Structure 1
Amino acid sequence: MPVIDITSDPEALTMTVVAEFDAPVERLWSVYTDPRQLERFWGPPGWPATFALFQLSVGGRALYAMNGPRGEVARGAWEFLAIEEPNRFEVLDTFVNEDGSAIDGMPTMRMTFGFEEAGAGSRMRCVSHFTSAEALEQVIAMGSIEGTRLAMGQLDRVLHDLREYSQGQGTQTEVLSDTQVRITRLVDGPRDLVWRAHTEPELMKKWLLGPDGWTMTECEMPDAAPGPYRYAWAPVDGGEGEPFGFDGEVTLMDAPRRMVSTEHMTGTEYPPTLNDLQLYEEDGATLITMIIMYPDAATRDMVLATGMTDGMEASYARLERELLAV
């Protein structure tokens, strides 16, 4: 993780984030001042950001929304107070309504972003200045420290070429918290086709099979959200293993970028998970990111112990081999 320190100072009324990166200052500056790159890490996992406005000039504004997996939306606005490329910019950060107006009772923070050389890479130092100790406590109580740490953990991937950073690593599983796991896999193919492979039953049956020796016996997907779905698998020709399946509801479809769904093991009393699929394309390759939210750490550990990562890797390798290589 790039974050090396997050501290709050009730006397100085500040919260300071320090992070270091294996990239030059100019590259770090560019990801913070290009809204399309900023969107890839500004929101924490499961809360991707969208910048609808970004006026990089003194007096200009930026408007953003972070979209949660259950339909929640957290909106903010920046007013640029100072810009000193490539080393520093300063904004007023405000919690806003859908129309861009400030939300009553929510604090406004003055934030300074500084970028400097650090060894062979660079260091980012962000200081948020609050108007009162109560405002600082309010933001901390909202989970800003852990949210910032998780959001910044996504920045390394943005700073580097996607193929260079992810190709050949296979399926990667990261435990983010007691209830949250992130799974990533780079596949060599366009996002539109990868989206279709996750939403069209005739394509899903060709690759979403886990280890060799299994077949998908049922695959029902909705045309739009919200809508129910169902998958089922069985061993081929009486092979080892018991048939099983999953059912749930697709709650969000934003083709070809994002799909959120509940997932329950059919015929069991296991609690459902919430699965947040996100697709990002760069230079003809697509990064698949799945954020899985479990009800508790015990359920998380039980599922991970089943060999889920290996099964997903077998499926993703088949996706590249059967669909994307055509």
Structure 2
Amino acid sequence: MTVISSDKNLEALSITMIAEFDAGVERVWQIWEDPRLLERWWGPPSWPATFEKHDFVPGGEASYFMTGPEGEKARGWWRFTAIDAPHHLEFDDGFADENGAPVDAMGAIHGAVTLEPIGERTRMTVRSTFEAEEQMEQVLAMGMEEGMQQAMGQIDGILAEHANA
């Protein structure tokens, strides 16, 4: 399994997941930069993502939906706040309504992703920071931690397919 650790910190209102991959930093970066690769792993296997917009620049936005086993759709949005290719990106992440508009009542989660080389491998650290303890507890109750572990577990297969890309 690619996820080597998952740490919930209620005091810091954060979840930090660390995964390692048998690929260089530039290849792992592509799974964030290329929306067709991103949608192959963002979301657990039973809730695949479709990115309708992916403006991967600081200040750019992304919109997506995940389709559940019964055809239901859960929509989300990102706003990229920092991009330092191929080592670091940050974005605000939130829920969206059926028209793709942010659902303010759910707040936003700040994501920070760091990619660092470990020899020929890459360590990816994903830190999600919440606005309030209630928000963190609500998202955890929805299965965010398990979903992210399942989602990140799909990355090895994608990287293996694109090993010579």
TM-score of the superposed pair, with normalisation by structure 2: 0.95
Matched, 1:30 2:30: yes
Helix, strand or coil at the partner of 1:105: helix
Partner deviation per Cα, 1:110-154 (whole Å, 9 max, x = no partner): 110110012320000011111111111111100011111111111
Give the whole-Å Cα distance in 2 for the aligned partners of 1:36 and 1:65: 13
Instruction: Give 1:66 shift.
Output: 0.4
Counterpart AA for 1:94: G
The residue that corresponds to 2:76 in the other structure is: 76
Question: 2:158 aligns to what?
Answer: 158
Pairing of 1:142-291 with structure 2 (within 5 A): 142-161=142-161
Give the C-alpha shift of residue 162 in structure 1. 6.5
User: How far 1:105 moved relative to its partner?
Assistant: 2.6
- Pick closer, same or farther for the CA change 1:85–1:162 going to 2, 3 Å: closer
The higher-RCO structure (CA 8 Å, 6+ apart) is 2
Instruction: Show the counterpart of 2:54.
Output: 54
Give the CA deviation at 1:107: 2.8
Does residue 127 of structure 1 match 2:123? no
Counterpart-to-counterpart distance in 1, 2:135 and 2:128: 11
User: Which letter maps to 1:127?
Assistant: R
| Residues 145-175 of structure 1: per-residue CA shift (max 9 Å, x gap) | 11111111111011122699xxxxxxxxxxx
Deviation string 1:63-117 (CA, Å, 9 cap, x unpaired) is: 0110011021111100010110000010000101122212243131111011001
Q: Which runs of 5+ in 1 are unaligned?
A: 165-326
CA distance in 2: counterparts of 1:6 and 1:55, whole angstroms: 29
Q: State the Cα deviation string for residues 290-309 of structure 1 (Å, max 9, x = none).
A: xxxxxxxxxxxxxxxxxxxx
Letter in 1 for 2:155: L
Separation in 2, partners of 1:83, 1:163: 24
How many residue pairs end up in the alignment? 164
1:5 equivalent in structure 2: 5
Amino acid at match of 1:91: F
1:42 alignment partner, SS class: coil
One-letter amino acid of the structure 2 residue matched with residue 42 of structure 1: W
* Cα distance change, pair 58–162 in 1 and its aligned pair in 2 (3 A): closer
Whole-Å separation in 2 of the counterparts to 1:61 and 1:95:
13
TM-score by length of 1: 0.49
SS of the aligned residue for 2:105 comes to coil
**Aligned in 2, Cα 1:162/1:28: closer, same or farther, shift over 3 Å?**
closer
**For residue 116 of structure 1, what is the aligned residue in structure 2?**
116
Instruction: Work out the CA distance in 2 between the residues paired with 1:163 and 1:95.
Output: 33
Matched, 1:86 2:86: yes
* Larger Cα-atom Rg: 1
Alpha carbons of structure 1 residues 162 and 83: separation in structure 2 relative to 1, 3 Å? closer
CA RMSD of the aligned region, Å?
1.5
Could you give the per-residue CA deviations for residues 3-58 of structure 1, whole angstroms, max 9, x where no partner exists? 01111101011111100000000000011110000011111011111000000111
Give the distance between the partners of 1:141 and 1:10, measured in 2 at CA: 14
C-alpha distance 162-126 of structure 1, shift in aligned 2 (>3 A): closer
- Identity of counterpart residues, as a percentage? 46
SS in 2 for 1:150: helix
Q: Deviations over 1:161-204 (max 9, x none)?
A: 2699xxxxxxxxxxxxxxxxxxxxxxxxxxxxxxxxxxxxxxxx
- Which whole-Å CA distance do the structure 1 matches of 2:152 and 2:103 have between them? 26
